[in-house]
Amino acid sequence: MTTARVELAKSEAILVAAIEVNVPEVVVARMAIGDFQSMIRSKTARRLDEGLEAAQNSLVGSFASGVEKDLDAVRNAIISPWSNGQITRLKLIKCQIYGRAKLDLLQARLIGTS
């Protein structure tokens, strides 16, 4: 249900259309998920609040509630130039040098491994 329609096989598109006709709530949920994905891909959180309001009364309402609980962190994660992989790498390097040095060694390791 999250795959773009143009990427679906004909039989899959027919199945999705049949589901959407019989379960209209799925259409609203699919649009909410698509809007959230496009915000993440485009790194813009302009419509985050409106999207969450629309998602509250859909099948993904529990997801929207979870996002609203930590809205500032989600907004910052969307617009941040840092990826999760970069942060994980930084934490790994920091753990590797734990207790051995301070910021100067961490800087050297980050610059040296880039």
What is the reported pLDDT for 99? 63
Higher pLDDT, 26 or 86: 26
Give the pTM.
Answer: 0.61
Residues 108 and 52 in one domain: no
Reported as half-sphere exposure (CB side, CA atoms, 13 A), residue 95 has a value of 6
Average per-residue pLDDT in the chain?
Answer: 82
Distance between CA atoms of residues 109 and 111, nearest Å: 6
Total domain count, the chain: 2
Tokens of 53: 């309001």
- CA contacts within 13 A on the Cβ side of 27: 8
Domain extent at residue 89: 82-114
Looking at the fold, whether 93 and 76 belong to one and the same domain comes out as no
Q: Are residues 61 and 97 in the same domain?
A: no
Q: Is the pLDDT of residue 65 over 80?
A: yes
| 46 and 93 in a common domain | no
Question: Do residues 38 and 11 share a domain?
Answer: yes
pLDDT tops 60 at residue 114: no
76 and 103 share one domain? no
87 & 31 share domain:
no
